[in-house]
Structure formats: C-alpha cells, structure tokens
A and B are shown apart, each in its own frame.
Chain A
C-alpha cells in the first residue's frame, strides 16, 4: 500500500475545498443510503438474516485454516490450481510468472480490491504485460491515471462532464455529457479487449469450501466476460473470503447487494467451479491466488473481526466523515470506517495510525454493517495502540496528561476552570470563541464555541443547596 506524499490533514483540507467532489459525494452517499434501507426492507426479517450472516462469517473465521484446506482440496479436485501468497510481492510474482510462462501480452481485469491492495496493475505493467480494467468506473479512473475512491463506485468523485472530457481526450470520441453515450463508447472499446486478452483477472466475493466454487458478482457483466473469453482465469482472493457451503453463500448474497446498492441480487452472480469441461468457451486454466498480506496475523486479535467484512461499502456511505472527505483523503486503498480499521491493521509499518482518528465514533458504521462488525470498538483499540506505541500527536498527549492531573484533584480542577475562563475572555467575539492561538488553533479551525458560562455547574449547585437550606 503506497502512502501519498501529502499528510492526512492536508489531504482532508484538499478534499473539503473541492466543490465538485462534495456535490458528487452528497448525491452518491445519500442515494446509496436510501437504497440500502429499501433493499433490506424487502427481506421478511432483515435483522435475523444479518445475525445469520454474522454468525456464518464468525464461524468460518474461527475455523479458517480448516475451511481454507477444504477449499483448496475442492478447487484442485475440479481442475483448478491454488497458489498461496504471504504478501503483495509474492502474489504479484505468482501472477506475473503465470503471465510470462504462458506468453500473455494482455490481461483484462474485473474490479478487485485485493489487486488494488497489492498494486498488481503496476507490477504487471512494469513486467511488460498490458492490463485493462473492464468495470466502467475502474476503466474511467484507469484512463484518468487515478485510484478508486469507493469500494463499489470507484469513479464516484468524477462528474459526468469530467468523464465526457476524459473519454474525448483518451479515445478521440466526440465530447458528450450523456451517460448513455459514454457507456456505449466504453462497451465497444472494451469488447475488443475482452475478446483479445489471453488472461482474465478477477477478484472473488466468496469462495465456497464445500464445492471449490468461486462466487463473483457484478452488475455490468464485466466479470462474467473476464472469466469466460480469455484462455486463462486468475482469481485473486483474500484468505478470509471463504464460506463453508452453498447454503451459507445464499445467506451472504441476501445481504451483500442489498447493503451495497439496495438491489436484491446483483445482475450477474457467477458461480465458477473449475475450468471448462468440454464446453465451447470458458477458461482452459483456472488459478486461485490466496492472499494473506497481514490477514492471518489478525485472527484472534482485538481487530480480528474485521476479517468478517464482505466489502459492501455500506459503512462508507453511512459515515459522516467519509460523506465529507470521500475516499482519496484516506490515502489508502480501503477507505471509510472499514479502511480506517483494515489499513493500519494490515500494514503496521505504514503511516496509517492517523486513520482511526477520522471518525466521530457515532456508530453509524456498526449500525449499517450487514455482519454487524463493531468498527467503533476497533477504532478505539487502534487509537489506544497508537498512544501505547508513542505515535500519538504530542500536543494531544500533553493535553491529556494535564487533564488527568487536574481532573483527579478537585481544587486544581476548579482553579483550572476559572483560569481558562479568564484566559479565553480575550478571544470572545460577540459571545463566540472563534479562534485560539497555536497549538489549539487546529481545534478551532472547524469549531466555534459559545462563551463559557460565568458560573460553573458546581458553583450553581452549591448556591442552590445553600439557598434551599435558608428556606
């Protein structure tokens, strides 16, 4: 995972100053949120289904090693090949070796967060293999040379005018802002790519242990074409994405699309079990790359439950912080509440300790999560870890150190309050505290405080008690 040169706070400032981004985020997150509510309402008992989905995920994680071995055995028994990768580098080498040994010149790809995580595209391109994204949103941002800003809507940050201009510049088609025309342009450009690529790369939504099947969902049908036309199919799968049986898969699919887009089921839900068997089309070779990259270390830890995530993106849409800053400000592949937990957990050496701060701990993410992951609890655990490891902001540490001293001695606390009251008086403007000097200035940058009351609560109480004693 690459860090961007700007600091998190600089990226946030940039995002907040981007008017077009704010408009795009407003439109998208609101619609996704409303669609999700309607989608879940179509289930007879959505809460029971979510409980069931959660219990399937937790059960699987608690016996993950056994299910992975079962999954591997069954993929192999239907003619597929399983490759295990400890980290990004190993996974990239596996794919590049497959491509080279089979003289693959071009790879068509359907959206895969795992491949973003390991920066597979860059690895393939620098290895001399051409890669083309086929999901419309991913295709757009690939043309623009950018990265996805939302798990399920990668180009959410771009307006139709920007996309129209991009297609005109890159493909030489006439400029338009009509999504129907732009979609038709992409269809014909990508059609050639599907039919001429030697290798198709996909992600995996779920791997079914009992059958060795891969479940892959899309609305566009791009994954279906990616895994059908090319001679070789390589599926990138995080080790946590396994479910025990087809029955369990059916339960997970009940909540996945509903939580993501509000649909009851995605348009294309493909179940792939091994390479083709005497079929006229479909891949001749199937390779599944099982990626660890920091996941196995999380099993059984405070943040282990994050592995239950099914990547629906509901927590992004619900998060008041994501709604304001969008995905890029996080600087990581996984953004929003899930990203704030997953990113620092998977990549402990990276500059990610600040991400768990990007939350008001309001609990909206836990509320909408289809598998009820307690994200706020994990954010707190990660913040505590940051303090323990000495990475916390020094002013915050000093502030809390002072507060602890004051708060444990009532006389000192009272003195402190009256001192703060006196000190802040000089900053009041019309009864509001608008700006404080550094280091407190970053606090008042986005907050305004009303005048501190002339009397504290305990002073009021004392007077009242004395007053009532008089009567």
Chain B
C-alpha cells in the first residue's frame, strides 16, 4: 500500500513538472439580496418548487401547534426525535409525547450505546423531527448535521420528515453558507444539504418521490427566538483559541 502511495504521488509529480500552475479564482460572490424578507420569500419559493412543504410561524406556541397538526394529519404514532436540547425550540418533543405519540430510536447518546446497530425500532417510525442549522435561499435547501443527540436516520428513514428552521439561519447561497459557517462541516461527521423529498427518475424519467428517504418534507420556517446552535458557538470559540482552527488550516496549502 505504501509502495503504491509513493509511486502514484511520484507519477503525478513528474507529470506536472513544467506544467503551468493555473491561478486560483477568487471565491464566488454570493447573490446580493435586497433585504431579509425577499431572502425568506426566495427560500419558500425554491423549497416549494422542489416539493417541500413550508410553514411559517412567528410564535413558539404556533410552531408547536403546526408540528402537532402535521403529525396528527399524517396519522403519526411513532416518532424519532432529536434530543430536546438539539431542537431549535424547547418543549417540542415533549408536546408530541403529551399528544400520545410514541418515541422510538435513540434519543440520548447513552441509550445509543446499548442499542448498538439495531435500527429495527427506528425503521418503524412514521416521522422524524429535526432542527436545521441553515437554509439556502437560492435552492430551497435545509442544512442538517449529525451529533450525539442528532441521529442521521431521523431525516432518512421515516416517510415523513419535519424540520424546524430558524429564519435567521437562511443564507442566500451554498457559497455564502460555506463562507460563514464552513466550520460546522468540520464539527460534525455528517452535514447534509437536503433539497426536497427523496426522488428518482430512474424508470423512464418518471419522477417518483420517497424512493429511499422521506416522501414528505415539512419545513417550519420560524421567526421567533430559538435556542442557539451550541456547536456553532463552540466552533467559533475554538477557532479563536486556535484549536479547531489549527487542525483545519495546518495542511491548507492555499494562502
């Protein structure tokens, strides 16, 4: 294996001798947005264009009510939820439980250890409840990231996915998100950019949803106060102290 490594790198290196090194382009400028309301309108428009269902709310109570209504209308009995303090608003998971919905899957890291890799329980869930760490206006995308209280199967296994997205986290483009929140990528082993429900067109280009992931994606775009994103703050703190920043940049060739 080490032999191959050396040989491959040597061939690549010898091939590039004398070859001009192309200058790198400037980072792309994000699409300018006039004001935040047009940014959110754009997000809603694009998310709906790819088949997501967007609900807007300016009060915490209303957000809880809408989520409960979505779950009730879909006849949800079993729910996978992220841990309460990993959701952008408090009391959401508890409200679902109070309404007779059964929680399945590993809600806490401690329990996850004992569950091992037996996903059978999670596979029976009718819905998954998550919180987005970002939104991309020009594509209608939500950004989700894994973590101890945030199983990824939550947004992948059930036929219905409900995600809460604080409107302050909507960015104009993917490039803008990477520019401002790129550290988040290093902080989670899985960051997913999800744009609408799972779909395929592999059979005669006929669009079909829900092939592996959810058939329905509901996004709650909320304007009220939300819990802060702890990883993001931690990332910024460590960047300042140099720890994460060092790891991310020590091998960075590009000045």
Interface residues of A (CB under 8 A from B): 24, 27-28, 31, 44, 49, 51-52, 55-56, 58-59, 61-70, 73-74, 77-78, 83-86, 90, 94, 134-137, 140, 153-155, 159-160, 163, 179-180, 182-184, 186-187, 190-191, 194-195, 209-211, 213, 219-222, 224-225, 227-229, 231, 239, 244-247, 249-251, 253-254, 261, 263-282, 290, 292, 296-301, 304
Contact = CB atoms under 8 A, between A and B. Distances in A.
Given A86-B4, A271-B191, A300 B204 contact: no
B24 to A, nearest CB: 5
A49 B50 contact: no
Interface in B175-222: 175, 177-179, 182, 185-186, 188-206, 208, 210-213
Contacts of B174: 250, 253-254, 265
Given A62-B19, A191-B212, A280-B151, 20 more contacts: A24-B204, A55-B24, A55-B25, A56-B25, A136-B211, A183-B211, A186-B211, A210-B251, A210-B252, A213-B186, A247-B28, A250-B177, A268-B194, A268-B213, A272-B189, A277-B188, A279-B147, A279-B148, A292-B4, A297-B11
B53 interface: no
B128 interface: no
A186 B9 CA distance: 42
Interface residues of B, number: 89
Interface stretch (B61-69, B93-101, B138-146): B138-146
Contacts of A179: 203-204, 206, 208
B76 interface: no
Nearest to A290: B8
A184 B147 CA distance: 30
B207 to A, nearest CB: 9
B192 A224 contact: yes
B25 A69 contact: no
A200 B56 CA distance: 38
B150 interface: yes
A221 B12 contact: no
A65 B11 CA distance: 9
Interface in B26-69: 27-28, 31, 46, 50
B4 A85 contact: yes
Nearest to B254: A244
B137 to A, nearest CB: 11
A281 B123 CA distance: 13
Contacts of B19: 62, 299-300
- Ranked 6 nearest A-B pairs via Cβ: A299-B15, A221-B213, A280-B112, A137-B202, A300-B15, A296-B11
Given A62-B19, A195-B119, A219 B199 contact: yes
Contact of B16 (A31, A65, A273): A65
Nearest to B30: A250
A62 B156 contact: no
Contacts of B238: none
B109 interface: yes
B131 interface: no
A148 B55 CA distance: 40
A219 B11 CA distance: 36
B251 to A, nearest CB: 4
A140 B201 CA distance: 13
Nearest to B181: A246
26 contacts: A52-B25, A55-B22, A55-B24, A56-B24, A59-B21, A62-B22, A70-B252, A84-B5, A136-B200, A160-B204, A191-B212, A195-B119, A220-B200, A221-B156, A221-B212, A227-B190, A229-B153, A250-B174, A251-B25, A265-B139, A267-B196, A271-B190, A271-B193, A279-B151, A280-B105, A299-B11
B138 A94 contact: no
